Chains A and B, each alone.
Chain A
């Protein structure tokens, strides 16, 4: 997997590009203004009172008026640039766009790929796959407090407000893996509420979507079978869903294809067997305050669950 980047200065889509143009325009304008103002200040400091001796009121008025004029022109220029960027950013939107529901929770992202046929809907968590070059409508909701959806490489921020739906259009032109995160303080683990956006070629995306629609494969070994039993009859199923089994909790991330995801606990740790074991054993050590409790599984049960979860590709 390529290195994950998170930067508004490396735009991967048209909107982020116009935002970064505006940023660079403001940066260079302000840099020039800064240099000029500091230069003028240094000249004023170094000049002696008796030197030149020009206390001509008129020339003073002229220079102040000129500076005021330049300031007004620059500010209006930035205002126009800002309005133009705002319009460019909001210009996306088409009926053929892909619709994805993203729901904010303390502290993870619930992702649903909408489809009029319920069996074709796809649920995942903390990971967003989008096809390159296609417009995507992200519909944002929140289950608890205000969050904010922010993938700097693709767009600006959009808040998730409890009790209402907001929406944001995205388009990625460059394939890649982009990191996003919650940008509105939402509680203790706000900093560990990240999501990964994977922009990939249309074919790859369709293949991924088809794979995600499959239910969990049946366990192949006795250990995996035991793992499935623990998941179904133990504490996991109270909150998590594994499609194709009786585990159907809806308050925590869907685990049907957890082995395909690159991170666990909303970007807190990489998705390896070791981290997963640590997370299941003592979530409050890795992410204090997270809503997942210590499950108190025995060592055998833990190994069986891990063996089973690794098959959920």
Chain B
């Protein structure tokens, strides 16, 4: 009897893997309010401000990252940044970050725009989609968990899917 019970328990183990993540279709409560005061440089006047990290709501969410990947082409991010290797705009899959690598810094870069070419998408792209783009941009240098990374590209692409890229520790350079 106990043997059968144990067997049943073992058979039920795979159920533990269900609901690894949920897909959220509705807009999340805006975590973006803090992004307006995001600092993009380590240089600050006076006392260093406390740096509590604002996490992207989609950072560990495969669906959110995949949506970010779709929007990356749909919103023509690849027009300047190519498929991550950069062109007119800086590369996104290397370790260099001009305006910071944390999710809130990337959010404000997309939302506010940056000098020399990066337009401000804040009024045009709903914050949910900006967060999805943030998650995807992070996945390009593997700042997100491996099991949430995209394992294949939808189109022909010279670069490997994000899952096969190398994890690059971010460096804040402040220039290209």
Contacts and interface: CB of A to CB of B under 8 A. Distances in A.
A235 B25 contact: no
A294 B128 contact: yes
Nearest to B126: A293
A13 interface: no
B26 A235 contact: no
Contact of B126 (A235, A249, A290): A235
Given A235-B125, A296-B126, A284 B75 contact: no
A238 interface: yes
Given A294-B126, A294-B128, A296-B126, A239 B25 contact: no
B156 to A, nearest CB: 9
B128 A234 contact: no
For chain A, which range describes its interface: under 10, 10 to 19, 20 to 34, or 35 or more residues? 10 to 19
A288 interface: yes
Interface string A196-235: 0000000000000000000000000000000000000111
A101 interface: no
A239 B27 contact: no
A251 interface: yes
A251 B73 CA distance: 10
A234 B126 CA distance: 9
A234 to B, nearest CB: 7
B129 interface: yes
Contact of A293 (B23, B27, B70): B27
A235 B23 contact: no
Contact of B124 (A144, A235, A288): A235
Interface in A273-310: 282, 284, 288-291, 293-296
A294 B26 contact: yes
Interface in B38-68: none
A158 interface: no
Interface of A: 144, 233-235, 237-239, 249, 251, 282, 284, 288-291, 293-296
11 contacts: A235-B124, A235-B125, A235-B126, A251-B74, A282-B26, A284-B26, A284-B27, A288-B25, A289-B25, A293-B128, A296-B27
